[in-house]
Structure 1
C-alpha cells in the first residue's frame, strides 16, 4: 500500500498559487502603491499543466522584460521562477508555502526571448521539517536542459522572523552567476642566450576575453647591469600603469551598470526604448548607492522598496537573489571586462529584511579555475550588521551570440 493521497484542496491551492503569482501586481501597483510589483515578473504568462502529489509542472514564453543584454532569459529571473515552482510542488503535498534555507541552481544552456520553456518541480525527500525539492527547466520544443534548481525548505522562518502568517511568505528565490577572471600579475625575467640579452616582460591583463599579453624586448648589445635594471624597471612601470588604467576603467563601467542597467560594456547608455527589456535589473537594485567599485570588489547599499516586498512585507526572496546575481556580474566584470554567464549559483538565507530597511551588498571575486571565476556576495543590514544572505557564483565566458562573438557589449 502506498502513502495516502494528499487532500485534493492542496493540489488546487498549489495550482491557483502558481497561476496567481504573476497576477498579484498586474495593475503595476499591487495594492495601489507599487507594493509587491516583483511578484508579477518571474512567472509572467505562466501556464500550469500539473500541480499535485508533490509535483508542479508549468510553462511560459520568455518575455522581453526578463531578458538580459544578449536577449537571453535573465539568470535572476530563472532563479526566481524556479523558486516559485519548488514552493508550489511542496504546497501540492503539504498545503503550505515553506521558506528556503538553502538554494542552488546550475545553468546549462540559454533560453532566448519568446522561446517556450517548461519547469518541472518535484519533492524528492523530507527530513523533519525540512523538505528537499528540485526543478528541471527545459526548452519545450527540443527538450534541451536549461537549468536545474535544488532547494531545502522548512516550515519555520530562520532567526529574526517575527511574522505570523508563514503560509503567505514567498519562498527564497536564488540565483546567481560567475565569470572567467584573469588575476593580474607582473613578472619580469632577464636572461642571456647566445650572446644576446632578452628582457621578457609577462603581463596578465584583464583585457577583453582575458588573453594575456606577452611583450619581448631584444637588445643586440649586452648592456651594463645598471642599464639592464633601468630598462627592466621602465617597461615594468609602463605595463603596470597600463594595467592600472584598465582596472580603473572596468571598475567605473561596473559602477555605471549598477546605477543604470541600460549601460553597455563600454559604459554607454542604450536607447531609452530598450528600458522595458531591462525592467528586472532596474527594479531589483533601483536606487542603489555604490560606495566602492574597484578591481575585484564592489560594495553598494539601498533601502528595500515596497515593490520588492512579499506578502508579509519583507524583501522578496526572488528579488534578493536577482540583486545578488547582478552584484556578482558587476564584480566579475571589474576583472574580466567581457560578457559572462552563470554556471552555478548558491544562496544561503539567514534573516529577513523589512520594507524600507537599508542593506549593504559586498561582492568580491575570490578565485578562478581555468575559464571559471568565483564570486561571493554578502548581504547585511546596515544598522545592525546582521547577516541576511550569502550568495556564491561560478561564472564563465558568456554564451556566444552575434553581439559578443567578436566584440564586447553589455
Structure 2
C-alpha cells in the first residue's frame, strides 16, 4: 500500500500561497510592512494549474521588470521563482513551508520578455526532516527546457551547524578547472591580442631593416613588454570600475555608461536585491561588497529570503566574472548552500572570486558572511559563459 493521501487543506494552502504572491505583485499590496514583497516580484502574474500530493504546477509570462540587459528572463529571477515552486510542492504534501539547505539549478535556454513559461515542481524523496524536490521550467508553447532546479529543504536550520567549516575546506575541490593566475594571458583575450599586436609590429615599407645589436634587441623587447603590461593593467582597472558601477547602479551598460536605452530596460530585480550595497573592493578576479538586509527582502519569518539571497549571489558572480572576461555573461549552472539565516537589518558581506576557467566557461564562488560575527551564511558557485548561443555564433560554440 502507498502512503495515505495528505489532507485536502494542504493542497489548498499551497495553491493559495502561490496565488497570493502573484496577486500581491499585481496590486502592489503588502508593500507597507515589507512581508513577502520579494516573493511577489518573481511570481508576478502567476497562474496556478495544480497544487496537490507533492506537486505544484504554475505558469507566467516573463514581465519586463524581471529581464536582464538582453531582454531575457533574469537568472536570479528564475532561481527565486523555482525556489517558491519547490516550497509550494512540499507544502502540498507536508502542510508547512520549509527552508532551503542546498539549491542546485542548471540553465539550458533563455526565455524572452513576454514569453510564457511553465514551472512543474515535484517532491522526489524524503530523509528525516529533509525533503528533496525538483522543478522543471519549460516554454509553454514549444516545451523547450529553460532550467531544472533541485533542492533539499528542511523544517529549520539547526543551531550551531558546523557544516560551514567542512564546506570551506572543500572549496578547492568544487571546480576542477584551471586555477586563476593573473600572469596567464588566456585570462583575457583582449589582453593577449594587445600583446600580440605590440610584439608583431614591423617597420613601415621602404625602411631599410638593419640587424640590431643584442643590447638593442633586449631594450626593444623590454619596451614592448612594458607597454603591453601597462595597457593590460589599464584594461583590468577599467573592467573592475565597470563592475563596481554596475553593482551600484544596474542601469549601467557594459561600458559603465547609463544611457537612455539602458535606463528603459527592466532592472527592478537587480536594483532590489543589492539595494544600498557598498562596494569595498573591485579588482581583477575579485569583488567584495556589504549591505543591510531590508524588510522587502525578508520572508514570513523576518529573515533574508532564500530567493533574494540567490539573486544577490547571481549578481555578484556576474560582476566578478566581468572583471576577467570583459563581456556580459549568462549562467549555465548554479549551486548554493545555505548555512544560517540572516535577520532583517543585519549587515552581510559578499565576497566573490573567479576560481577557474575551462574554455569559454568561467567558474566563480561567492561567500556570504555576517559582518559582525563572520558567521557563514551561504556559499554560491556558478559556471558562466560569455553569451547564450545565437544563430550567428551557435555553430562556432565550443559548449
User: TM-score scaled to structure 1, two decimals?
Assistant: 0.82
What is the deviation of 1:37? 2.1
| Root-mean-square deviation over aligned CA pairs | 6.1
The 1-side partners of 2:70 and 2:261 are apart by 17
Cα drift, residue 221 of structure 1: 4.2
Per-residue Cα deviation, 1:329-351 (whole angstroms, up to 9, x for no partner): 00000111112100000000011
Q: Could you tell me how far 1:401 is from its partner in structure 2?
A: 6.5
| 8 A Cα contact 1:52 1:89, kept in partner | yes
Instruction: Report Cα offsets for 1:144-191 as digits up to 9, x if no partner.
Output: 0000000011122243699999x9xxxx99999999xxxxxxxxxxxx
Aligned residue for 1:266, secondary structure, equals coil
- Residues 86 and 133, structure 2, Cα contact 8 Å, conserved in 1: yes
Q: Is the 8 A contact 1:361 1:377 kept in 2?
A: yes
Q: 1:66 to 1:297 in 2, by over 3 A?
A: same
Does 76-85 or 28-37 show the bigger shift?
A: 28-37
Kindly state the Cα deviation for residue 222 of structure 1 after the two structures are TM-superposed: 3.8
Distance 1:301 1:161, change over 3 A: same
Q: Which residue of 2 aligns with 1:215?
A: 200
Tell whether the 8 Å contact from 1:379 to 1:388 is kept in structure 2 after alignment: yes
Pair 234,22 (structure 1): closer, same or farther in 2 beyond 3 Å: same
Q: Distance in 2 between matches of 1:176 and 1:351?
A: 41
Contact in 1 for aligned 2:107/2:146 (Cα 8 Å)? yes
Distance 2:31 2:96 in 1: 23
Partner Cα distance (1:80, 1:375) in 2: 19
Partners of 1:350 and 1:286 in 2: CA distance: 23
Q: How does 1:239-388 map to 2 (within 5 A)?
A: 239-271=228-260, 274=263, 277-388=266-377
Range moving further from structure 2, 1-10 or 43-52: 1-10
- Cα shift at 1:83: 0.6
Displacement after TM superposition at 1:94 (Å): 1.1
Aligned residues of 2:188 and 2:324 also touching (Cα < 8 A): no
1:197-223, CA deviations, whole angstroms, 9 ceiling, x for partnerless residues?
xxxxxxxxxxxxxxxxx736x995442
Residues 54, 89 of structure 2: 8 Å contact kept: yes
- Structure 1 gap ranges (5+): 180-213
How many Å apart are 1:224 and its aligned residue?
2.4
Question: How far apart are the structure 2 equivalents of 1:178 and 1:94?
Answer: 58
- Partners of 1:176 and 1:345 within 8 A in 2: no
Q: Which runs of 5 or more structure 2 residues have no equivalent in the other structure?
A: 166-185, 202-206
Q: Is this contact kept in 2: 1:178–1:342, CA < 8 A?
A: no
Change (3 A) 1:26 1:339: same
| Cα deviation, residue 63, structure 1 | 0.5
Higher helix residue share: 2
Give per-residue Cα distances to partners, 1:269-288, cap 9 Å, x unaligned: 13289457100000000111
**Compared CA separation, residues 119 and 367, structure 1 to 2 (3 A):** same
Q: Is the 8 A contact 2:50 2:56 kept in 1?
A: yes
Distance 1:219 1:374 in 2: 49
**Counterpart-to-counterpart distance in 2, 1:92 and 1:356:** 32
C-alpha separation between the residues in 2 aligned to 1:235 and 1:66?
47
C-alpha change, 1:26 and 1:66, in structure 2 (3 Å) is same
Report how far residue 8 of structure 1 moved: 1.1
Cα 1:247–1:408 change in 2 (3 A) is farther
Q: Mean alpha-carbon deviation: is it higher for 20-29 or for 129-138?
A: 20-29
Q: Any conservation in 2 of the 1:98–1:156 contact (CA below 8 Å)?
A: yes
Aligned equivalents of 2:152 and 2:163: distance in 1? 20
Identify if the C-alpha distance between structure 1 residues 393 and 405 changes in structure 2 by more than 3 Å, giving closer, same or farther: same
Post-superposition Cα deviations, 1:54-85, rounded to whole Å, max 9, x if no partner, equal 11111000000000010000000000000111
- Closer, same or farther: CA 43–141 of 1 in aligned 2, 3 Å: same
Aligned length: 370
C-alpha distance 278-381 of structure 1, shift in aligned 2 (>3 A)? same
Counterpart of 2:93 in structure 1 is 93
Aligned to 1:235: 224
8 Å CA contact 2:26, 2:44 repeated in 1? no
Contact 1:73 1:110 in 2 (8 A): yes
Q: Given the superposition, is the C-alpha separation of residues 125 and 35 from structure 1 closer, same or farther in structure 2, using an over 3 Å criterion?
A: closer
- Pick closer, same or farther for the CA change 1:273–1:370 going to 2, 3 Å: closer
Q: Tell which deviates more after alignment, 226-235 or 63-72.
A: 226-235
3-state secondary structure, aligned to 1:50: strand
Q: 1:239-259 deviations in whole A, cap 9, x for unaligned?
A: 001100100110100000000
Contact 1:175/1:321 (8 A) holds in 2:
no
Matches of 1:67 and 1:162, distance apart in 2:
37
